[in-house]
Amino acid sequence: MAMKQVANSAIKAIANSGSSSLLARRLHASPGSKKIVGVFYKANEYFTKNPNFVGCVEGALGLRQWLESQGHQYIVTDDKEGPGCELEKHIPDLHVLISTPFHPAYVTAERIKKAKNLQLLLTAGIGSDHVDLKAAAEAGLTVAEVTGSNVVSVAEDELMRILILVRNFVPGYHQVITGDWNVAGIAYRAYDLEGKTVGTIGAGRIGKLLLQRLKPFNCNLLYHDRVKIDPELEKQTGAKFEEDLDAMLPKCDIIVINMPLTEKTRGMFDKDRIAKMKKGVLIVNNARGAIMDTQAVADACSSGHIAGYSGDVWYPQPAPKDHPWRYMPNQAMTPHISGTTIDAQLRYAAGVKDMLERYFKGEDFPEQNYIVKAGELAPQYR
């Protein structure tokens, strides 16, 4: 039954793409033991400090015993860059590649071409832009993620970052650890959140949760998206829809980026668009670093046009030591951590296991998890 479903899927995709190589890739895949490679960040000494720390190399999503007991080969590494890296050694014969947004394995068209046995790309978390989705679709691969697994984690983190910027928290923290005490050096640019206008660019699962969490702070809430949110949620939060993004930007004291990285959104916030924002704007970006023009953000922070920038997403990741966001003023940046809380790890580990079980049985995944299916991209990535 499983092989019949794979064959039917291949034939359907060929009808859509006209590619004969797709049929060969699908039908020549082994129905038995699979080679599965996971790419995660290393925990080192921190692994032993929490038994639920599963989202790292050492924890391996808690899948090793289960996979190996079924005869599958499971290789886990953090070494993902360069021609001699550990991941590259396994590209030619792996069947499944699991990665995370926090330590992404960049799956380029070149890697896809080399991966003759590859069938499935899974993201342990949300956001599959580390994959060349067009190349994956053309190759007939399935790309899926654990939709919803860390939306609460990211929304909470965004709220924290808004407050950190508004209250000018970071300079105060630095004063404490350096033995200083200068209240004026903090208070001159510390504000209340109440009464400020906050706009989220993107109102999907995370954006909606953020709007709900901001409601008790008595802010003026705006949102921009392709479609309006449910009228009941609009009423509940008091959020107002802004169809024209450029018209919304100068209204906002605080802007939160909550859109996926696509070819349309890559570099979307360049020098010209940032100039349309209110002088002294605060920006939180836990979406993707490449949505922003890196140097334009650094320049605007240096000039004061952006009064504060916080987020956990960079491009590339890990961020190089000379990345300009490390050194720009008025930033509250961290490594990519918002969606990899212990609670989130347990959710996305369970979601990956569920999809692997379905994959082995030849069953479909939950529809909302698909990013690429039968040669078609999910709507948010088109």
* Per-residue model confidence (pLDDT) at position 121: 98
Question: Residue 31: its pLDDT value, please?
Answer: 65
Q: What is the CATH number of domain 150-333?
A: 3.40.50.720
Element containing residue 76 per DSSP (H, E) = strand 73-77
69 annotated as ligand-binding? no
Q: Please, what are the averages of pLDDT over each run of 10 residues along the chain (382 residues)?
A: 40 40 41 93 98 98 97 98 96 98 97 97 96 96 97 98 98 98 98 98 97 98 96 97 98 97 95 98 98 98 98 96 98 98 98 97 96 91 81
186 labeled binding residue: no
Q: Check whether 245 is labelled as a binding-site residue.
A: no
Q: For residue 239, what are its two tokens?
A: 């959020």
Q: Please list the active-site residues.
A: 150, 288, 317, 336
Q: What pLDDT does 27 receive?
A: 31
Please give the pLDDT value at position 16: 43
Burial of 58 (0-12, 13-18, 19+ CB in 10 A): middle
Spatial separation of the C-alpha atoms in residues 41 and 215, rounded to whole Å = 35
DSSP 323: -
What does DSSP say about strands 142-145 and 370-373: parallel, antiparallel, or unpaired? antiparallel
Asked whether residue 159 is marked as a ligand-binding residue, the answer is no
- Between the alpha carbon of residue 382 and those of residues 22, 139, 261, 265, 347, the distances in Å are 21, 17, 11, 11, 27
CATH superfamily of 35-147+341-381: NAD(P)-binding Rossmann-like Domain (3.40.50.720)
3-state helix, strand, coil in the chain (%, to 5): 40, 15, 40
Residues of each domain in the chain carrying CATH 3.40.50.720: 35-147+341-381, 150-333
